[in-house]
Amino acid sequence: MEAQAASEMRAAAVKVPAVTLLFWVLKILATTLGETGGDAVSMSLNLGYLVSTGIFAVLFVLAVAAQIRATTFRPWLYWATIVASTTVGTTLADFVTRSMGIGYLGGSLLLVALLLGSLALWHRTLGSVSVSSITTPKAEAFYWTTIMFSQTLGTALGDWTADSAGLGYTGAAAVFGGLLLLVVVLYYGTSVSRTALFWAAFVLTRPLGAVVGDFLDKPVDHGGLALSRFTASAVLLGAMVVLLLVVPQRAADRQH
């Protein structure tokens, strides 16, 4: 009976955070950290994109497994999994676009297709892609798969906007920041699907974090500040830790 009760509790629990201002601040910090941290391992440590992707992929899979096995919302575990997804997304996107020679635009288009395909399959299988509906291991698996695709897309899209499109890091940050502002306006001023707006914002925060991360650690002659990747990563991680310690988080409300 106890085993059955635990199983039912695990299936019913929503183990993702409520979507608040803190959520978005932490998400942007995490995506920026994913860029600087991924580059630190693949470039500064000279491990290369493939080896780094393998390392971060293992960490991501372990974190997702722990997240799915958890019976309640655990903020530290959730955000550790998000950070793992952003770092593997950074090195995987760099491997696909640079080492495989697909290019930023080709990689972005491929990842957009994978992201939309993941959302479509998720909706077709479970009937909803809302955060409040993530109450089963299957829904969590779709959720984290979708997140991984969105994090990988963000790096490729950010690089394409900043480099290939010639906007530079600050110009690209302004574009993605403006698009996020548009999502906010639509949220408060229209009746557009809240779920659609959530995923739009979730996707857009990744390229924003990617270009901000590049701005922090790229050379000055490339439009960056030339900060140490490890220093930038430590500062971003510290900011996340402080926010998680100081500001309480709650789980999203369950969909009825």
The string of pLDDT tens digits covering residues 223-255 is 888 889 999 999 999 999 999 999 999 988 876
Contact criterion met (CB below 8 Å) for 93 and 50: no
Q: What is the pLDDT of residues 14-55, one digit of tens each?
A: 889 999 999 999 999 999 999 999 999 999 999 999 999 999
Q: What is the pLDDT of residues 174-186, one digit of tens each?
A: 999 999 999 999 9
For residue 251, list its beta bridge partners.
17
Contact criterion met (CB below 8 Å) for 28 and 208: yes
Distance CA 176, CA 179 (A): 5
- Given a cut of 70, whether residue 107 has pLDDT beyond it is yes
Instruction: Kindly give, in sequence order, each residue whose CB lies less than 8 Å from that of residue 185, ignoring residues fewer than 6 positions away.
Output: none
pTM, 2 dp = 0.90
- Given a cut of 60, whether residue 102 has pLDDT beyond it is yes
Give the length of the chain: 256
